[in-house]
Amino acid sequence: MRNRLSVVCVLGAVLAVATSGVARADTTLGSLAIPSGSTPGACEAAVIAQVDSDSSTPYTVPSPGTITSWRINGLAAPNVPVSLVVLKNIGGLSYTVVGVDTHVTPSPVPDVVSFTVASPIAVSGGEILGLYDTGSNFVCYFHGGDTPATDGLIALENDSIPTPNQGLTENDDSGGGYTLNLAATLTPNPAPPLATTKKKCKKKKKKHKHSAGSAKKKHCKKHKKK
């Protein structure tokens, strides 16, 4: 009687992994808190960007992800175009525009105006946030009063709404005690999926037990052939 091979799988399937990695929480950059006793200021045809910020309300992008939404206090005229501008320093006073998102303020203007970024802006970390308006149509920043002394702005003049990949040059800086009227949502990139685990199937020889009767029959057959 021939021995037959039987396949025994210790683990016959690949362990399932999450299809899109592990989700991580969004981060709020900036703040809409109006410092007590502060004075409002306008953009006036310049990108006003937060180059320095208090650690409790950071404006600098901490890690890779996408900017998906942003908000301003509704201290603005209705039907005014306002722009979120994301900048990356490329050395000295030079910056490149990573992304821009422009919207028109609603009418009437609510206490807080929220915008969803039309095309989420990809960031790698280290970028700073800014606002742009061609005139004095909304409150771009606050200064003085209880504004943190560690908060500082820079101005980068431009005659029109900046465009992605455009180069801008810092024209002025505020020193301490200035904070942007802006909060933005950073959605982090998903964590990489877990590695798959697969174990190979083992082949075993199937052992057959023989009774005393079957062993006797085989012995008899051998004697008959002689």
Q: Is residue 95 part of a domain?
A: yes
User: How much is the pLDDT for 21?
Assistant: 55
Residues 45 and 147 in one domain: yes
User: How much is the pLDDT for 14?
Assistant: 40
Residue-range definition of the domain harbouring residue 10: 1-21+191-207
User: How much is the pLDDT for 6?
Assistant: 41
Residues 88 and 200 in one domain: no
Per-residue pLDDT tens digits for 95-151: 999 999 999 999 999 999 999 999 999 999 999 999 999 989 999 999 999 999 999
Residues 95 and 154 in one domain: yes
Q: Is residue 212 part of a domain?
A: no
What is the pLDDT tens value at each position of the chain, 226 positions in all?
A: 444 434 444 434 444 444 445 667 999 999 999 999 999 999 999 999 999 999 999 999 999 999 999 999 999 999 999 999 999 999 999 999 999 999 999 999 999 999 999 999 999 999 999 999 998 999 999 999 999 999 999 999 999 999 999 999 999 999 999 999 999 999 999 887 776 655 555 555 555 555 555 555 555 455 555 4
User: How much is the pLDDT for 10?
Assistant: 40
Q: Is residue 184 part of a domain?
A: yes
Is the pTM above the cut of 0.85? no
User: How much is the pLDDT for 151?
Assistant: 97
Q: Is residue 135 part of a domain?
A: yes
Residues 146 and 203 in one domain: no
Q: Is residue 142 part of a domain?
A: yes
Q: Is residue 85 part of a domain?
A: yes
Residues 95 and 126 in one domain: yes
Residues 147 and 73 in one domain: yes
Q: Is residue 226 part of a domain?
A: no
User: How much is the pLDDT for 23?
Assistant: 65
Residues ≥6 apart with Cβ < 8 Å to 225: none
The whole-angstrom separation of Cα 128 and Cα 174 is 15
**Total structural domains in the chain?**
2
User: How much is the pLDDT for 27?
Assistant: 96
The whole-angstrom separation of Cα 152 and Cα 207 is 81
Residues 1 and 93 in one domain: no
Residues 184 and 197 in one domain: no
Q: Tell me if 41 sits within 8 A of 143, measured CB to CB.
A: yes
Q: Is residue 101 part of a domain?
A: yes
Residues 118 and 201 in one domain: no
Residues 167 and 202 in one domain: no
Residues 80 and 170 in one domain: yes
Residues 11 and 77 in one domain: no
